[in-house]
Amino acid sequence: MVSESPLRKRRKEARPSELTAAALGLFVEKGFAATRLEEVALRAGVSKGTLYLYFDSKEALFKAVIQEGIIPVVAEGEAIAASHAGSAFDLLERLLGNWWTRIGETDFAGIPKLMVAEARNFPEVAQFYYENVIRRGRALVGAALERGMASGEFRRMEIETCIEVVIAPVLMLLIWRFSMGSCQGKQVDPAQYLAIHMDLLRQGLQRSQV
């Protein structure tokens, strides 16, 4: 029996990630509902049958995209928070900066727009995304805010609403890029946008000095 060549082994091992990369591109371009598994297989250069060896449904493929590309970034944020020894504001800045670098500057930036647009039509996918990305991300921001309020660095405010105010501008920057941004004539400068957002947060969160 002829042994399988290293090249063929590498191809088999790489195939699931090639499928998720192809799926991500199509999900961002076309949306979840409009993307067909045959298109994913074609873009990845494999047969539809090969795709089904790894993923038995479009929902499973989408979950794999999130597990491969977004959940690890959430886990990075949790590790950053666990080891952070500086101020609560510095922690917020690190968390949002890491999210933008690892998600906002990649093709994964298109996923939030997809979820906002299609969550109601695909509740199983939406629930998976909420539990693994949104809930954990909100918990991270909330813990940083509570840390600052408890230490006196931040003034005391209602945590859940503050979480929304911290996250919403970053989420809007992602959504705008993949929607109305094309109508603006020029792209928003993310670095400038985020710098202004952080400055406004700093001024709004800090406790007044009497």
Judged against a pLDDT cut of 80, whether residue 210 lies above it is answered with no
All domains in the chain, ordered by first residue: 6-65 (1.10.10.60), 70-205 (1.10.357)
Output the average pLDDT for the chain: 89
* Residues 99-144 pLDDT 10s: 999 999 999 999 998 999 999 999 999 999 999 999 999 999 999 9
pLDDT of residue 185: 65
Query: 35: which 2 tokens?
Result: 């993307």
Report how far residue 181's alpha carbon sits from residue 183's, in angstroms, rounded to the nearest whole number: 5
Query: 197: which 2 tokens?
Result: 């957002």
The angle formed by the CA atoms of residues 174, 177 and 183, to the nearest 5 degrees, is 150
207 backbone dihedrals φ, ψ, rounded to 5° = -70, 135
* Residues 71-93 pLDDT 10s: 999 999 999 999 999 999 999 99
Judged against a pLDDT cut of 50, whether residue 177 lies above it is answered with yes
Judged against a pLDDT cut of 60, whether residue 171 lies above it is answered with yes
pLDDT of residue 180: 62
Q: Which of these, 200, 97, 76, 85, lies nearest to 147 by C-alpha position?
A: 85
- Local confidence band at 59 (pLDDT 50, 70, 90 cut-offs): very high
Query: 181: which 2 tokens?
Result: 């941004």
pLDDT of residue 91: 97
Helix (H, G, I), strand (E, B) or coil at 154: strand
Q: What percentage of the chain exceeds 90 in pLDDT?
A: 76
pLDDT of residue 15: 77
CA dihedral 47, 53, 55, 56 (to 10 degrees): 100
- Local confidence band at 176 (pLDDT 50, 70, 90 cut-offs): confident
206 backbone dihedrals φ, ψ, rounded to 5° = -65, 145
Beta carbons within 8 Å of 29's beta carbon, 6+ residues apart: 110
Judged against a pLDDT cut of 70, whether residue 12 lies above it is answered with no
Evaluate whether 81 touches 140 at the Cβ level (below 8 Å). yes
- Local confidence band at 11 (pLDDT 50, 70, 90 cut-offs): very low
Report how far residue 141's alpha carbon sits from residue 183's, in angstroms, rounded to the nearest whole number: 32
Query: 172: which 2 tokens?
Result: 């809007």
Least confident of 30-44, 86-100, 166-180: 166-180
